[in-house]
Amino acid sequence: MKVVFCSAEVAPFSQAGGLGDVLGSLPRAIAEQDTQAVIITPLYGLVDAEAHQLQKTDISFEVQFHGKAYPITIWKGLLPRSEVVIYFVDNYDLFGSRKQVYPYGQPEWELEGFLVLSQAVFELLRRVNYRPDILHVHDWHTASVATTLADIRPYDQYFSRTQSVLTIHNLNYQGEFGEINWLKEGILKADAVTTVSPTYAQEIQTPEFGAKLDPVIREYAHKVSGILNGIDTELYNPEADAFITTKYNRSNFAEGKKQCKEALQVEMGLPVVPGAPLIGFIGRLAEQKGLDILLQAMKEMDEQASKPQWVLLGTGDPKMEEALKGLNTKSQNIRTFIGFNTALAQKIYAGCDMFMMPSAFEPCGLGQLISLRYGTVPIVRGVGGLVDTITDVRNQPHRGNGFKFAEYSAAKLKETVQAAIDYYHNNAVWPELVGRGMDEDHSWKPSAEAYKTLYAHLTHPAPISA
């Protein structure tokens, strides 16, 4: 079986959020299922072609869009630790001049680039003689690949047997420009639609989480399913992580985490206070991530006699960035870093005692899975994939792996954090809680097997019994 992944971002080449993580891992896991996989993505100016050993090919062509010809050049590379080929679509005006994946405040430029990318996919596949069984596209940026495929398949023999899968990583980003909603068009035309967790697949069929597309999704619910994301357990591995001060595993995590914590406190300018819990946050600085209630709870808890410490890392909304920057001077117990920094992110996962995800909604979430791997206890709001992956230890003492709250409020968040801190100071239960989380398997293998089953169903549907 031949699968083509099309995405706006692919880690470690380009990344703005969890989508990049998924595309940096899932194709490798799919390839390990005796399936051929290639990836097609833009060559942004932020991609270091030399560092990633990318090669410029002799493939070039033009894409016609709105009466204008866009010259395209193709570069080629490999997904790290795999034989998965990545084709990079290069046009300087659309991609090469970009220093970030998504140009804030320039939606028309963003739309133009991704629509040209989607059209380039079909010509590129012909040029490299790769006839896919599955075109697996991600979010609105490449949803038009599924739309175009549905339009050309009846008369284009090259793609006549190709099926499409559209994965929705975040329904709130729809590519809505004028009268056209590109994500909606993809949902209508794709042969299958998946989300990144089973709970999110159900949530988006409701008005609360459906972002005004719930009527459409309910109508096409027969082709919608949820497949939980995994994480790259080789990359996120406290036993082998090159970025952290002390490597550790399940058997010696207490000492390893202690040393990683002290190193993180020193690096971030936090006082090394024995017994003070350190809580981390890593994520896109957007309303979705619950930063409004988090900042309120942090402010109130910083006025308590017994104060937790906080480390926050992220980039996104410029106003939110400025708000977080100001926290560094307002409290000695709070430190923030604005930007995307892989090394610091790994240190936060390893050095913190708890990891905060108070999301307004969360399609899957990767942070809670990574934090479990590093023995860092998640504190989450019970939505989306956080429902599927986190069990509250207060409700199930022998199965719980974290703390979970339902009401979206600073008061409930603060109450849950305080409960976690109480557990943290209880030496009889905390090591067991941490150890359970580290023992869990959140690798990509089960997810890859589920996708392979879906691909097989699309390309070889079961006969209808009489």
Q: Are 196 and 169 in contact (CB under 8 A)?
A: yes
- Kindly state the DSSP code that residue 295 receives in the 8-state scheme: H
d(CA 10, CA 75): 14
What is the model's pLDDT at position 448?
Answer: 96
All domains of the chain in start order, with CATH: 2-230+445-459 (3.40.50.2000), 253-439 (3.40.50.2000)
* Sequential pLDDT tens for the chain (466 residues): 999 999 999 999 998 878 999 999 999 999 999 899 999 999 999 999 999 999 999 999 999 988 999 999 999 999 999 999 999 999 999 999 988 888 766 777 788 999 999 999 999 999 999 999 999 999 999 999 999 999 999 999 999 999 999 999 999 999 999 889 999 999 999 999 999 999 999 999 999 999 999 999 999 999 999 999 999 999 999 999 999 999 999 999 999 999 999 999 999 999 998 789 999 999 988 888 999 999 999 999 998 888 899 999 998 888 899 989 989 989 999 999 998 798 999 999 999 999 999 999 999 999 999 999 999 999 999 999 999 999 999 999 999 999 999 999 999 999 999 999 999 999 889 999 999 999 999 999 999 999 999 999 999 886 655 4
d(CA 115, CA 143): 9
Provide the token pair at 76: 């080629």
Cβ contacts of 417 within 8 Å, gap of 6 or more: 279, 297, 301, 308, 354, 356, 379, 403
- Kindly state the DSSP code that residue 287 receives in the 8-state scheme: G
Longest dimension (CA), the chain: 72
Between strands 85-90 and 68-78, the pairing is antiparallel
Provide the token pair at 299: 């402010």
Least Cα distance to 421 among 332, 333, 254, 308 occurs for 308
Is residue 254 packed enough to be buried (19+ CB in 10 Å), middle (13-18) or exposed (0-12)?
middle
pTM: 0.92
